Every structure is written in structure tokens, then in C-alpha cells.
């Protein structure tokens, strides 16, 4: 395994913490993550990661994505541990090396600056995980323990962690957050097994949802993406009946239903 480390981060505590989790890895210093990430490489690079810093972490959501234009994506990582066939990451980057941005204080400052300098009283929403699954990699990045308490210090701002992961053990040890919601993407098991490679099963996701609800966490459910597979009406009808039977939706904060969400550029 190779860890590519930006030279400016060789003394960064977060970077060193990630490196310590891979004592067998070879660490190669680089000037900028784009020196590796922007190269067209064979898609067998899962054994490599890049530790880097991001300058502009925030991006306003595209038109019609959320309820208002005071919603933002923020990126702390690139590429996903999962391999969903319909995902835009299939062609978004030149390779599949995972990049972890560890200048968390800079990212927090950018978020805080947006919240404090906005003239709007509309609640600000920040979507994490638009290029990755932060819950799935939390054991590597410590994302949750860094950003969930941070968002609880902010007024009029909330974070959504959208996920297919069931990596909730650390969440269950934390105090349930008031400003963070865990949003689970759900699909019928037949679609998960065929198209959402390496992801947890529907039953495991339901189990994780119920565990978080019982622990007092705010949970969203995302029926996304709906796929027009053969016999989809029967498949989705049975799926909805199964999910409603196994999750108490009176405890769910919100539900979203949608097809594949791509920007015009995608």
C-alpha cells in the first residue's frame, strides 16, 4: 500500500493519525495531491490513498437540488469505498484513489464564515459526502467526532451525512447531535445486490437506522435512486411495504424520493 502525503502536512496531527493506522504502508511525499490524482491510472488503485489539504471546500448546491440556495456541499474527501454502478464517480475523476483532506480547521472556518456572514435568516444546510461516504470511512478520518460536535456549536446551520454505511459504532458512543442528521439511502435488496456493489444489505441498513433512532439520533430516509428496472412497480411496492413494516416512520425526520441526481455537467 502507498500513502501519498502532501509535504506541507507531514507534521499535521490528522495526517499522522491516518498514517499510523497503516503501519505497513509506504509513505511518499508529494507537492500537491493533483500530481497523482489528475493522472489517468489503471483502476486498481484501491490500495493507495492520498492525504491532502483542500483550499475551497464549499460549493453551492445546483439548481433544484435542495429547498433553498442557502445549501452547500462541502468536501473533505474524494472517491468512495463503494462501487455503485450508477454513480457519477464512475467518470468524475481520472482514477479511483481515495483522497482525504485533513485541514479540518480550514474547512470549519469556511463553514463558520458562511454561516456568520450570511444576510439570510434561512437555515443553512451543509451536505457532506457528495464525493464519498463519510460514515463508511469514519474509522480512518474521524470525520464524525470532528464535525458533528462542531455543527452543534453553530446557530442556524445543519449538516446531513448521506450514507449507505452501517458503520455506526462510534456514533452510538457519542451524544446524539442536534444539528446533524444521518440520511440513509435505501433501495430494494435485488437492486442493492445487483448495482450497489460492496454496500451493506437492506436489512443491515434497517438495523442501523433502528439502532440510531433508539439512541436518539436524527435520521432521514432517502429512497434514492429509483431505477426503472424490469418489473420495477412490483419490486418497489414490496420494498416500501417491507421498509414501513420494519422502521417506525413516526420517528423519521424526513423522507426524500428521487431518481438519479446529476448536474447538467454530469
Q: What is the pLDDT of residues 64-121, one digit of tens each?
A: 665 566 788 899 999 999 999 888 877 778 888 999 999 999 999 999 999 988 777 7
Q: How far is CA 250 from the centre of its chain?
A: 25
Nearest to 65 by CA among 123, 130, 148: 130
Per-residue pLDDT at 46: 56
Grid cell for residue 135:
460514515
DSSP-derived letter for residue 3 is E
Per-residue pLDDT at 54: 95
Alpha-carbon gap, residue 181 to 126, rounded angstroms: 11
pLDDT band of 27, cuts 50, 70, 90? very high
CB 48 within 8 Å of CB 1:
yes
pLDDT band of 167, cuts 50, 70, 90? very high
Query: Is residue 63's pLDDT more than 80?
Result: no
Alpha-carbon gap, residue 137 to 124, rounded angstroms: 25
Does the model's pTM come out above 0.75?
yes
| Burial (CB count <10 Å: 0-12, 13-18, 19+), residue 65 | middle
Amino acid at each position: 500500500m502507498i500513502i501519498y502525503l502532501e509535504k506541507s502536512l507531514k507534521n499535521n496531527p490528522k495526517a499522522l493519525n491516518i498514517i499510523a493506522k497503516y503501519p505497513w504502508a509506504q509513505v511518499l511525499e508529494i507537492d500537491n495531491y493533483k500530481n497523482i490524482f489528475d493522472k489517468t491510472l489503471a483502476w486498481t488503485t484501491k490500495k493507495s490513498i492520498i492525504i491532502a489539504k483542500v483550499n475551497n471546500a464549499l460549493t453551492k448546491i445546483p439548481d433544484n437540488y435542495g429547498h433553498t440556495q442557502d445549501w452547500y456541499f462541502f468536501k473533505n474527501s474524494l472517491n468512495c469505498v463503494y462501487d455503485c454502478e450508477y454513480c457519477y464517480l464512475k467518470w468524475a475523476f481520472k482514477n479511483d484513489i481515495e483522497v482525504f483532506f485533513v485541514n479540518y480547521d480550514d474547512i470549519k472556518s469556511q463553514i463558520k464564515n458562511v454561516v456568520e456572514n450570511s444576510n439570510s435568516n434561512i437555515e443553512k444546510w451543509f451536505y457532506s459526502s457528495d464525493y464519498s461516504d463519510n460514515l463508511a470511512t469514519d474509522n480512518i478520518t474521524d470525520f464524525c467526532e470532528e464535525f458533528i460536535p462542531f455543527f452543534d456549536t453553530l446557530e442556524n446551520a445543519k449538516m446531513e451525512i448521506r450514507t449507505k454505511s452501517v458503520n455506526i459504532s462510534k456514533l452510538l458512543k457519542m451524544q446524539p447531535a442536534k444539528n446533524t442528521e444521518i440520511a440513509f439511502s435505501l433501495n430494494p435488496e435485488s437492486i442493492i445486490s445487483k448495482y450497489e456493489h460492496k454496500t451493506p444489505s437492506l436489512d443491515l441498513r434497517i438495523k442501523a437506522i433502528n439502532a440510531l433512532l433508539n439512541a436518539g439520533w436524527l435520521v432521514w430516509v432517502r429512497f434514492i435512486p429509483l431505477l426503472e428496472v424490469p418489473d420495477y412497480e412490483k419490486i418497489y411496492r414490496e420494498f416500501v411495504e417491507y421498509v414501513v413494516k420494519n422502521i417506525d416512520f413516526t420517528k423519521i425526520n424526513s423522507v426524500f424520493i428521487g431518481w438519479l441526481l446529476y448536474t447538467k455537467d454530469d
